[in-house]
Amino acid sequence: MATMARDRPEIRFHDEISSGWETLHQSRTFRARTAAMFDLLGNADLDGQRWLDAGCGTGTLSRLLAARGCDVTGVDASPEMIAAARGRRADGTPAERLTFRQIPTIASLPFADRSFDGVLCASVLEYVPNVAQCLAQIHRVLRPGGLLLVSIPNRDSLLRQSYKLAHAASSRVSARPLFRYLAFSKFEASPAAMQGLLRQHGLTMLATGFAGSPLPPALDRRPSVGTLINILARRDG
């Protein structure tokens, strides 16, 4: 299974960056984008709930959910990310609240129908070949009324568009271009487009917000600036 995953270039890329992932998440920009995403949950009582972190990386956000009283299963296609996640569990979060598994893809989740009270999917759908198939799987494993907290690239972000131009230009002159992740980050959408896509898969959008840039929050959370759309949705009956 790990060998098959490493045959995919986007997985090899995430294997390569896994050693620095936790450090990256401690940066001001990443802490701000995480805060903006979790703000959509507000003061929701998650104690005792079962959540899936679909595309968990090194488990940074899984541990934040576990700190709110959830039992969290984190899955990722990158073997190196999962190895790092398993190696960083001793941070005060009870080990029994966290489980990490390497799987080939979130387009085929190895869980029973209606297994989870919530699904977190942070900056993952941009890397998958079939977004609709992944959303169908997320809907399947969510219980009716369960929550989906997801972030995807913001098509309307002028900053993201400038990053794409810089990536394209630097790719022509360097083997390690600027914003390397853009070689693999393909899916992007507007809030209206995501609302329609979620509705097609039995999910109702409850709230949205913007984040992801290195700019101050007053700018970062504007629809034309924030490079990510954060979305809170609910599975219909």
Q: How confident is the model at residue 233 (pLDDT cuts 50, 70, 90)?
A: very high
Q: What is the pLDDT of residue 83?
A: 95
Q: In the beta sheet, which residues pair with residue 228?
A: 153, 211
Taking 90 as the threshold, does the pLDDT of residue 90 lie above it?
no
Query: Among residues of the chain, what percentage have pLDDT more than 90?
Result: 86
pLDDT tens, residue by residue, 110-123: 999 999 999 999 99
Q: What is the pLDDT of residue 4?
A: 46
pLDDT tens, residue by residue, 22-38: 888 889 999 999 999 99
Phi/psi of residue 70, nearest 5 degrees = -85, 155
Candidates 129, 126, 150; CA nearest to 198 is 150
The better pLDDT of the pair 89, 99 is held by 99
Q: What is the pLDDT of residue 2?
A: 43
Task: Calculate the average pLDDT of the chain.
Answer: 93
Taking 70 as the threshold, does the pLDDT of residue 62 lie above it?
yes
Taking 90 as the threshold, does the pLDDT of residue 94 lie above it?
no
- Can you spell out the DSSP letters for 97-162? GEEEEE-S-TTS--S-TT-EEEEEEES-GGG-S-HHHHHHHHHHHEEEEEEEEEEEEBTT-HHHHH
What is this structure's pTM?
A: 0.93
Candidates 40, 34, 36, 42; CA nearest to 206 is 40
Q: How confident is the model at residue 135 (pLDDT cuts 50, 70, 90)?
A: very high
pLDDT tens, residue by residue, 149-207: 999 999 999 999 999 999 999 999 998 999 999 999 999 999 999 999 999 999 999 99
Q: How confident is the model at residue 1 (pLDDT cuts 50, 70, 90)?
A: very low
Taking 50 as the threshold, does the pLDDT of residue 3 lie above it?
no
Query: Among residues of the chain, what percentage have pLDDT more than 70?
Result: 95
The CA R_g of the chain, rounded to the nearest whole Å, is 17
